[in-house]
Amino acid sequence: MKIAVLSRNPALYSTKRLVEAGEKKGHEMVVIDHLKCHIEIEKKNPRIFYKGAYLENFDAVIPRIGASVTFFGTALVRQFEMMKVFTATESQALVRSRDKLRSLQILSRAGVGLPKTVFTDYTRDTGQVIDAVGGAPLVIKLLEGTQGLGVVLAESKNAGESILEAFNGLKARVIAQEFIKEAGGADIRAFVVDGVVVGAMKRQGKEGEFRSNLHRGGSAQVIELTDEEENTALKAARAMGLAVAGVDMLQSNKGPLVLEVNSSPGLEGIEAATGKDIAKIIIKYIERHVD
């Protein structure tokens, strides 16, 4: 097969591992910088122009689209779909996952456990927002934030009101969420491929840090999920329409609570923690679904 990996940097760990895994299985792997593509639209003839030539004869595409270029990246994935190319992540699922508010609404409708969340249109009644999520401490998140950026822990109600007022003044869209104290600054990343949890790790934030992101100095170790945690991860991925997903959950007294479903989960942390060849599993998934 001829498989495209949409990635802006061939040297990234996840990109390299996918290319390596595909080549080991005898496939032709091509890394494509999606921002250098031109999308051509005409009646029944969708085409993509890249570096002096049209992209042709691809059997599958693996999107590795950064959050900052979601709009164009999704349009390119949609163009591949119009060209009848199998995509490991469908364009519509990618759009859903990148909209934090929409994804929470979808997960809520699907009956997935979530931290209590409030979203408003720059309300001045910040005190009521804080009370609605259970009071302080509470977590305030930018809707466009990634990798722990734009996530703030407000220790007191006064601090929460000040932070909300500051974001409102900047016209920055935020959500307020209840703080799950018993999680202890840790979360779980369950890696789902084609309806199966293929690996899971527990990520612990560094001392004094409530965010567990590995990019922010957190550590990770392999974990065996409970049945409830595994079912929650699968339900969340299925609700979002994602065949490949990283489902982030908190362990709480109310059971697992989903924070986010990532449509382009990194491979480095999960492969290091579990010792599993996740890239190979993704390639096998593509093989099963490409005619």
What pLDDT score was predicted for residue 265? 95
Domain holding 62: CATH number?
Answer: 3.40.50.20
The answer on 212 and 158 residing in a single domain is no
Has residue 110 been placed in a domain?
Answer: no
**Confidence bin at 215 (pLDDT 50/70/90):** low
Examine the pLDDT at 291 and tell me if it is beyond 80: no
Q: 230 in helix, strand or coil?
A: helix
> Residue 283 carries which side chain, given as an amino acid letter?
I
Across 266-270, average pLDDT: 94
Across 71-94, average pLDDT: 97
| Summary mean pLDDT of the chain | 93
Burial 49-58 (b: 16+ CB within 10 A, else e): ebeeeebeeb
What pLDDT score was predicted for residue 123? 86
Q: Where are the alpha helices (DSSP H) in the chain?
A: 13-24, 70-82, 91-98, 100-109, 126-132, 157-169, 227-240, 268-274, 278-289
> Residue 62 carries which side chain, given as an amino acid letter?
I
Residues 6+ apart with CB under 8 A from 53: none
CA distance 240 to 110: 9
Q: Out of 90-94, 120-124, 214-218, 286-290, which region has the weakest mean confidence (pLDDT)? A: 214-218
Across 271-277, average pLDDT: 95
Q: Is 68 exposed, middle or buried (0-12, 13-18, 19+ CB in 10 A)?
A: exposed
Q: How many CB atoms lie within 10 A of CB 109?
A: 9
Q: Residue 284: which of 182, 183, 194 has the closest Cα?
A: 194
The answer on 190 and 283 residing in a single domain is yes
CA distance 113 to 135: 19
The answer on 190 and 175 residing in a single domain is no
Across 250-276, average pLDDT: 95
What pLDDT score was predicted for residue 122? 86
Q: Is 34 exposed, middle or buried (0-12, 13-18, 19+ CB in 10 A)?
A: buried
What pLDDT score was predicted for residue 193? 98
The answer on 137 and 193 residing in a single domain is no
What pLDDT score was predicted for residue 277? 98
What pLDDT score was predicted for residue 147? 55
Hey, CA dihedral for 154, 160, 162, 164, is it positive or negative? positive
Instruction: Please say which residue of 127, 160, 179 terminates a domain.
Output: 179
Which pLDDT tens digit goes with each residue over 108-137? Answer: 999 999 999 999 888 889 999 999 999 999
Has residue 144 been placed in a domain?
Answer: yes
The answer on 189 and 170 residing in a single domain is no
Percent of the chain with pLDDT over 90: 83
What pLDDT score was predicted for residue 210? 56
Split into its structural domains, the chain has a count of 3
Per the structure, the complete domain to which residue 122 belongs is given by 117-179
Q: In which residue are the tokens 């392999």 written?
A: 222
Which pLDDT tens digit goes with each residue over 165-204? Answer: 999 988 888 999 999 999 988 999 999 999 999 999 999 8
Examine the pLDDT at 3 and tell me if it is beyond 80: yes
What pLDDT score was predicted for residue 121? 86
Q: Out of 51-65, 148-162, 236-250, which region has the weakest mean confidence (pLDDT)? A: 148-162
Tokens of 258: 């989903």
Examine the pLDDT at 262 and tell me if it is beyond 70: yes
Answer with the residue of higher pLDDT: 155 or 150: 155
